[in-house]
Amino acid sequence: MKKKQGIAVLIATVLVMVLLGFTAAVGWGPTGTGAARNIITGLDLSGGVSITYEADQDLPSNEDMNDTVYKLQQRVMSYSEEAKVYKEGVNRITVEIPGVSDANRILEELGTPGTLYFIRQTDDEGNECYSYDYTTGDYKLNYTIDELKEKGCIVLEGSSVVNAQGGVQQDNNGSTSKYVTELEFDAEGTKAFAEATERAYNNNETIAIYYDGEFASVPSVNSVITAGKAVIEGAKSIEDAKALATTLRIGSLTLTLHEISSNVVGATLGSNAIRTSLIAGGIGLALVILFMIIVYALPGLVAGLALLIYTGLELVMLNAFDLTLTLPGIAGIILSIGMAVDANVIIYARIREEIAAGKSVRNAITSGFKKAFSAIFDGNITTLIAAAVLGVLGTGSVQGFAMTLALGIVLSMFTALVISRLIINAFYAVGLRDEKLYGKAKEIKVIDFVGRKKIFFTVSLILAIAVPIVAMGIGKATTDKSLNFSLEFMGGTSTTVEFNEDMSMQQLEAEVNPKVEAITGDADVTCVKVVNSNNVTIKTRTLTVQERKQMDEMLINDFGVDKEGISTQSISATVSNEMRRDAVVAVIVATIFMLLYIWFRFKDIRFASSAVLALLHDVCVVLGFYAVSRVSVGTTFIACMLTIVGYSINATIVIFDRIRENLGSGATKKDLANVVNTSITQTLTRSIYTSLTTFVMVCVLWILGVSSIREFALPIMVGIICGAYSSVCVTGPLWYVIKTKTGKKK
């Protein structure tokens, strides 16, 4: 790069930072809404719509209620992956959709949840399942629903529809347009619909769409549909096409529901919580940049500029991809900023090593980026694979976490490998070429990690196995719960209160929450405020009769609430059994895919098995911390564990990459212990610096955050310490033991 090019790159860097900052903070166009302020946020940050449905049956079974909750959850996730559905009382279901403020629009689009069936025209014996009544001009069923099921008339139910949209479609020549409804089926529905359309097409029959006791549409079949996507024509208007799409989206529910209330609710966390979290992010970022400059001089400044660009891109992309952001999501972004430092640390540590080896600054920069690439690539791709699997198989907060994680990984790699490289070469081109500006790696005495493996393994066995088992056993014996499961996992009590004044979230956080926590002995308290009213819903763990009495007395005596203005009822978990199952399956599949990738890249399954064992070690240690500290286990627990999985695997890959490189220099089996010790020692600075910067980001959040954020940040801090310990002290010696005990290379 020539001097003029270097100047141009530096000017462009400043302009990009200004443009990103302006876009994020102010925005473009007449509204001037910045990308950061236009990001879709969850109920905890900006509120949304809360709709309560009631089943037509007075006492529906638990199984029917749970099935309806799960199916309805799948439908509302089209609005936001952070939408929640849970049981309230014995026959009510509440839907909470964040980021929207028009309850009537949601009710209109969501429709009234009922039953939806796709019915073929004739059964296997040729009898008509439904027929056209020429007298009334309407279609009618020839059997009851139960009879239709017995005769095989029902092709599939609405639960197989994953998406439906109404719109306008142009003819092939583009001269005329028609109103259509496009729908898409899941895998099971695709197969069933293919068989049904083949039969209908061959027999010149129709397939009726029957919803909530009426025929919504009876389209003819013009071809065999095998791809799982279909187009229904014949709508008289765009409104009719969209209405049919709404019917299809709501799907088939076990229970028929009717809406009894809908409200716009405020954020469950006050502006003070958001403000302190953003301040924490700013302070943490400033501290990390300052640390990088002190440690790495000019390259540290480059890393700081790259991190600022990364932060701006993250905010803009969150807005561009319409990702829903919750407060744990903000914590995740702050954490990802700390982790984004890792790639820069790897690169600049390499540059220092190359300078120490006698290379010129120019050659050291080139070689440093080249040698750092494999560690950065493998570590990030491994985590990206996990994010992809979690995004496909996970639901709810797992899926939201995966999307945010994937975005952070891509942007991190881009800023480290492209932006940082351009900027540091630009500084060199404009004349900043003194070796002192870049630093030189100091020779560190090789530490015998392998020789201390018995100590490390013993400590790990105690922390990862003994502590969790004992702590969970004690918890089960004393509280009947091995872990302190939150109301999101276990359900709880919902207390609806009509205060004498319109209390702000700041007042609720400062005055009401502490008194509720004193009664429950638990920080897991959520206040949901109905906008433009004095009504507030306080959600807690399940209260005993005595605790409910204490709650009523506290509200009456301390806040002057009328006894008649207080009502309580039980609510179910917002994380259903199916969602937990999906999360577990997603994590298991993601772990398998990571194992396969590491095996493929390192050509040795022992690297993969060691990495996965270290990952399990870190997860178990953090689980033990949850058991000992009794920190609430809710949706933030899932995000915490997934963060630790990504952090752990990334840290391990860096050390394994150095072991792979040193093995390639001709090391024999006798030298394996020395290779492992040397590799860990060479990457020790990286391990310490990355862990320290990430820890600082989360620690500031823990210091300044509200109680719910502290409960998220504290386990993350434990995970960071544990991840640093396992990657440095456990993974290398573990690989050495497996390698030497299993003989030849597998």
Average pLDDT, the chain: 83
Determine the topology of domain 116-252 in CATH.
Gyrase A; domain 2 (3.30.1360)
Lowest model confidence (mean pLDDT) among 318-322, 419-423, 471-475, 608-612: 318-322
Higher pLDDT, 579 or 34: 579
- Across 97-101, 502-506, 647-651, 687-691, which has the greatest mean pLDDT? 687-691
Lowest model confidence (mean pLDDT) among 229-233, 581-585, 691-695: 581-585
At 197 the pLDDT is 92
Residue 159 binned pLDDT confidence (cut-offs 50, 70, 90): confident
Radius of gyration of the chain measured on its C-alpha atoms: 29
Q: What is the rounded distance in angstroms from the CA atom of residue 425 to the CA atom of residue 5?
A: 10
pLDDT tens digits for 221-273? 888 988 888 888 778 888 788 777 776 766 656 677 788 877 777 666 655 66
User: Helices (H), strands (E): how many in the chain?
Assistant: 26, 17
Q: Residue 517 pLDDT more than 50?
A: yes
Residue 76 binned pLDDT confidence (cut-offs 50, 70, 90): confident
**How confident is the model over 508-517, as a mean pLDDT?**
87
How many CB atoms sit inside 10 A of residue 418's CB? 11
Q: Is 650 exposed, middle or buried (0-12, 13-18, 19+ CB in 10 A)?
A: buried
207-211 and 214-217 beta bridge pairing: antiparallel
Lowest model confidence (mean pLDDT) among 203-217, 371-385, 389-403, 509-523: 389-403
Q: Percentage of residues in the chain with pLDDT exceeding 90? A: 20
Q: Residue 46 pLDDT more than 70?
A: no
Q: Is 719 exposed, middle or buried (0-12, 13-18, 19+ CB in 10 A)?
A: buried
Contacts of 133 (CB under 8 A, 6+ apart): 139, 140
Quick one: angle between helices 238-250 and 103-110, nearest 10? 80
The count of residues in the chain is 746
Q: What is the 3-state secondary structure (H, E, C) of 675-694?
A: HHHHHHHHCHHHHHHHHHHH
459 sits in the region (left: phi over 0; alpha: psi -120 to 50; else beta) called alpha
**How confident is the model over 81-109, as a mean pLDDT?**
78
- Tell me the C-alpha to C-alpha distance, in Å, between residue 691 and each of 1, 252, 342, 610, 718: 34, 49, 9, 20, 11
Determine the topology of domain 44-101 in CATH.
Alpha-Beta Plaits (3.30.70)
Q: Supply the DSSP string of 225-275, one letter for each residue.
A: --SSEEEEEEESSHHHHHHHHHHHHH---SS-EEEEEEEEE--SS-HHHHH
**How confident is the model over 49-57, as a mean pLDDT?**
84
At 474 the pLDDT is 92
Higher pLDDT, 508 or 554: 554
Would the pTM of this model clear 0.75, i.e. be above it?
A: no
**How confident is the model over 45-58, as a mean pLDDT?**
80
- Tell me the C-alpha to C-alpha distance, in Å, between residue 498 and each of 35, 536, 559: 36, 6, 10
Q: Residue 578 pLDDT more than 70?
A: no
Higher pLDDT, 326 or 558: 558
Q: Residue 316 pLDDT more than 90?
A: no
At 195 the pLDDT is 92
Residue 746 binned pLDDT confidence (cut-offs 50, 70, 90): very low
Taking the CA of residue 486 as centre, how many other CA atoms within 13 Å lie in the half-sphere pointing to its CB? Answer: 20
Q: Supply the DSSP string of 31-75, one letter for each residue.
A: S---TTTTS-B-HHHH-EEEEEEEESSSS--HHHHHHHHHHHHHH
Q: Is 224 exposed, middle or buried (0-12, 13-18, 19+ CB in 10 A)?
A: middle
At 745 the pLDDT is 47
**How confident is the model over 328-357, as a mean pLDDT?**
79
Residue 54 binned pLDDT confidence (cut-offs 50, 70, 90): confident
At 466 the pLDDT is 94
177-185 and 161-170 beta bridge pairing: antiparallel
In this structure, what token pair is assigned to residue 83? 């939408």
Residue 302 binned pLDDT confidence (cut-offs 50, 70, 90): very high
**How confident is the model over 591-595, as a mean pLDDT?**
85
**How confident is the model over 142-157, as a mean pLDDT?**
89
Q: Percentage of residues in the chain with pLDDT exceeding 70? A: 87
Lowest model confidence (mean pLDDT) among 84-93, 118-127, 485-494, 704-713: 704-713
At 8 the pLDDT is 92
Q: Kindly indicate whether the domain formed by 492-571 is annotated with CATH number 3.40.50.1370.
A: no
Q: Residue 206 pLDDT more than 60?
A: yes
Residue 464 binned pLDDT confidence (cut-offs 50, 70, 90): very high
At 270 the pLDDT is 54
116-120 and 535-540 beta bridge pairing: unpaired
Residues of the chain within CATH 3.30.1360.200 domain(s) are 116-252
pLDDT tens digits for 642-652? 778 777 888 88
* Residue tagged 């765009």 (tokens): 238
**How confident is the model over 636-658, as a mean pLDDT?**
81
Residue 50 binned pLDDT confidence (cut-offs 50, 70, 90): confident
Residues of the chain within CATH 3.30.70.3400 domain(s) are 44-101, 492-571
* Residue tagged 């005990």 (tokens): 741
Taking alpha carbons only, the member of 665, 691, 694 closest to residue 679 is 665
- Tell me the C-alpha to C-alpha distance, in Å, between residue 130 and each of 104, 138, 210, 469, 694: 35, 11, 10, 60, 64
**How confident is the model over 126-144, as a mean pLDDT?**
89
Residue type, 2: K
